[in-house]
Chains A and B, each alone.
Chain A
Amino acid sequence: MRNIAFLALNVIADSFRKKIFYVVFLFGLAMLAPSPLLPSFELGLQLEFLRDVSLSLTSLFGAVLAVIVAVAQLPVEIEKKTIYNILSKPVSRLEYYVGKFLGVIATLAIILIVMGIEIILLIYFRLKTFSPIVFEGIFLVFLESCVIAGFCYFLTTFASIPVSVLAAIFFYVLCHVKTGYLYEKLVEDASGALRIIAWSVYYLIPNLENYNVSQQVGYGHGVPFGYVARVFSYALLFTALFIFLGYNVFRRKDL
């Protein structure tokens, strides 16, 4: 447990020192600031629009940062050989693998909290209303970025950084278009064995569209607690699955 905490803290410290990280992070904040180019709307609509747009942007940046932070762990440590000094200490591979991942997750949480606070302040200064419901959307964005980070982190146990990034983009797109279109095309149109395969693939791919609630938050009513609980367990399940798969590759890896 102690080792996991030290490793996670180290990932956080390391992430917040990377220049690329700040570039993306500041870019994200800068994108949020002038987002409401909506002078003619009435107040209520402005609020809806502002919440909707800033959450959608945050979601996109959350995904990008999840990829950047997650792929920058194992391949970099192996390439720079800093991993030898850690795994030659009484640290198990499980502690290492999980500790670093928790560091990634914590880094993402910190970024998203900062972005959430920014959005709330932005709305407050523009429209003089306090809008804590934004954090409901931020929380789901965080869950989505955990799934993406888990997937990338798993990939890097065997693939290089560029391959992992490409696969992550593919994964992201696939997970967002799967609703509707994919379902109709693959599951309902197919028949026999193909249909079973399509059906399993459909359920094996996490549906990341579930984590996009910017409209509901925009309207101000948010989503019911049951929904949040459901998508939370769903994210937990997928993240755990990726961690399990990744650990099983990493456990045997020659360093």
Chain B
Amino acid sequence: MDNVILLENIRKTFRSPMLRIKRTAISDLSLGVRENSIFGLLGPNGAGKTTTLKVILGLVSPDSGTGNVLGKPLGSKSTRARIGFLPEQPYFYGFMTAEKAMMFYGHLAGLDTETIRNRSEKLLSLVGLPIGSHLTLEKYSKGMLQRFGIAQALLNDPDLVIMDEPSSGLDPVGQKEIREIIISLKERGKTVFLSSHQLSEVESVCDSVSIINSGRAVAQGQLDDLLEVKGVSLVTFTGESERAQKVFSPLARKVHTENGKTHVEVDADKVYEIITSGKELGLYLQTVGPFRKTLEDLFMEIVRGQEI
């Protein structure tokens, strides 16, 4: 599969106009996003996520490095016809109603009035906004604006959807809906590139991620590869025993009991011993599988620069 987005050694510094101070927003960032995948860009505040998205869209030009998006160099106008973008803070012309704004953005996207009318009705109801409302966008709540932002990003039926923190400001129902929208985009053959702080959201929708810190990519790859800890298994028993901690500890990496279940993280070669000991303790074996960290563990590990 081809890369829909490819960035190579991108570096971007901002300088304040008055002072001669340079701030490095991204340094030496490389990443590739495969076609028809969901890619998550993660990183702490100020890591350079938004700047990376702006580079991809041609809103800022990198100091050095190259890249291409949908097979064209960075900043190409015709590429943007195939991209949908949801900015970090969705701000629109406050005086327009949702339909008027959809019409305006649709025209700029090169669509004709009839197409815009049809699509905007579908999209507004997809994101749960009222149709035909006289409410202007300046009277929308934060979450409603976010929903509108998502609708306008999908107006041109884009092949690549770029979203800067898609679930920011959304209620739990809205967050679930946006996850469903993202997954359905993938099912329709689209590529989604998103930045997020919602690690559980990323974990549940993304195929690959890149974690950046201080403008550098510190981990990237398929989510499964990143989260799976090689050579470590997780054995789960039903039942609890007061002696579990004492018996398992010499063999296991970590033991914890929760809701009547005992979880044991253990090196793969000691799985049988754990199972035998568990049986002796009167526990019932429930599952044995590869041990996976959560994305949160991985993120903390990387961002704090230490193993947990």
Contact = CB atoms under 8 A, between A and B. Distances in A.
Interface residues of A, number: 24
Main secondary structure of the interface of B (DSSP, over half): loop
Given A82-B91, A82-B92, A255 B108 contact: no
A184 interface: no
Size class of the B contact interface (CB-based, 8 Å): 20 to 34
B105 A89 contact: yes
A85 B152 contact: yes
A254 B108 contact: no
B59 interface: yes
A145 B60 CA distance: 32
B93 A88 contact: no
Contacts, number: 69
A80 interface: yes
B91 A81 contact: yes
Contacts of A2: 107, 110
A90 interface: yes
Interface in B85-100: 85, 87, 89-93, 95
Contacts of A254: 14, 54, 59-61
Interface string A83-126: 01111111110000000000000000000000000000000000
A88 B60 contact: no
Nearest to A17: B95
Nearest to B149: A85
B60 A90 contact: no
A252 B63 CA distance: 12
B83 interface: yes
B179 interface: no
A129 interface: no
Nearest to A89: B108
17 contacts: A6-B107, A14-B93, A14-B95, A82-B91, A82-B92, A84-B91, A85-B105, A86-B108, A87-B58, A88-B57, A88-B80, A89-B108, A89-B156, A90-B77, A90-B80, A90-B108, A91-B77
Interface of B: 14, 17, 54, 57-61, 77-78, 80-81, 83, 85, 87, 89-93, 95, 104-105, 107-110, 152, 156
